[in-house]
Amino acid sequence: MIDTRAFITALQQRGVGLFTGVPDSLLQDFSAALHNDLPAQQHIIAANEGNAIALAMGHYLGTGKPAVVYMQNAGLGNTVNPLTSLADPEVYGVPMLMVIGWRGEPGKKDEPQHVKQGRITCAQLELLDIPHWVLDAESDIEAILGAAWQAMAAGQPAALVVRAGTFSKVSLQAVPTGPSALLREEAIAALLQCLGEHDSLVATTGKTGRELFELRAHRGENQRDFLTVGGMGHTASLALGIALAQPQRRVVCLDGDGSLLMHMGALPVIAEQSPKNLLHILLNNRAHESVGGQPTVAGQVDFRAVALGCGYQGYFAASSVEQVQSVLADINTSGAAGPLLFEIHLAQGSRPDLGRPTRTPQQNKQAVMQHLGVEHA
């Protein structure tokens, strides 16, 4: 096993002064060490992976030294544009080291949303002409970093594809949270008590969908909610698509703060389309909890001002079960036209025995479309 802090030190000794990226469960020890040990300007958790590539480019332009960009392999899609149209040797030729968690590695069991991405990860890097090395617990760090720096000397990105179990354990130091003691599962349970049979729910990635799935099962209700198991940041746009297609039905988007921040440009588009039937719920615990609890910047954002400034028709907030139910009762009785943003302030935490959906994504799609009354292939 590679000593996590020794690995970071080896990178710093080669001149790395900036680490940026999006947290990943496979890389949580690496990002925990960065969060614990480095000052804020040397470790920046980006909104999305493409932002991190651009940050790394700016750092190189200002210092002449490469940065490290870390991500889950699912985030490679967010990097393709800045990698090919900016950092590539045929454009600006900017060196940086990408550290990529290899979810869905062939031959290893993983969740369905990671299987194809895991299978094509190395092929994607080859297609992008990015030299890369697989990193595991037995790797010779000095040899691999030496080869990576030699490749980067030609003015191009290089990548390390990191297998599960590569880094030694590092516990994340406590991350400040808001004043709320409300847990996400408690909030979702309160929401379900106030929503109607006809409502359509779309849940964001990670533990939100898992908790919603289990709550439906506990209540003995049919599984009819769309669980956005991948594609972090696109939940609100997906919900918009359903809301526009079925204007007679209320669509409830259960979004997370990390997800909303990742593609916040969706908000003015939603507002411009003005779906009266869209209720956008922001479950804000100020953290990437599903991948290790690393902080987001959501505690510093005035989402009321953002939503209303983008053109949402209303904003509501709650931080207790009673407030959640009261706000939804007011929305239900008033018939307030959307799009509405309802921010629920949460504490971090989830059940240690939280399971995963027992249905495949294809089965989930079929159940959702059946609930929506739409024929499917």
pLDDT tens, position by position, 130-154: 999 999 999 999 999 999 999 999 9
Query: In angstroms, rounded to a whole number, what is the distance separating the alpha carbons of residues 166 and 373?
Result: 47
CA-CA distance, 315 to 339, in Å (whole number)? 9
pLDDT tens digits, residue range 160-182? 999 999 999 999 887 777 778 89
Distance CA 285, CA 257 (A): 7
**In 3-state terms, what secondary structure has residue 218?**
helix
Structure tokens given for 241: 């698509």
What share of the chain has pLDDT > 70, as a percent? Answer: 99
Instruction: Give the pLDDT score at 328.
Output: 94
What average pLDDT score do residues 183-188 get? 95
Has residue 376 got a pLDDT over 80? no
How far is 165 from 134, CA to CA, in rounded Å? 13
| pLDDT confidence of residue 377 | 60
* Assigned token pair, 349: 């935490």
Indicate the pTM of the whole model.
0.90
pLDDT of residue 112: 82
177 close to 287: Cβ distance less than 8 angstroms: yes
Domain chopping of the chain, boundaries: 4-162, 184-371
Question: Which tens digit of pLDDT belongs to each residue from 280-321?
Answer: 999 999 988 888 888 899 989 999 999 999 999 999 999 999
How far apart, in whole angstroms, are the C-alpha atoms of residue 192 and residue 204?
16
Dihedral-angle region of residue 274 (phi above 0 means left; psi in -120 to 50 means alpha; beta otherwise): left
**Could you count the other beta carbons within 10 Å of the beta carbon of residue 38?**
16
**What digits encode the pLDDT tens for the residues 56-79?**
999 999 999 999 999 999 999 999
Q: Residue 156 pLDDT > 90, yes or no?
A: yes
**How does the average pLDDT of the chain come out, rounded?**
93
CATH code, residues 4-162: 3.40.50.970
DSSP string, 59-87: HHHHHSS--EEEEEGGGHHHHHHHIIIII
What is the dotted CATH code of the domain comprising 184-371? 3.40.50.970
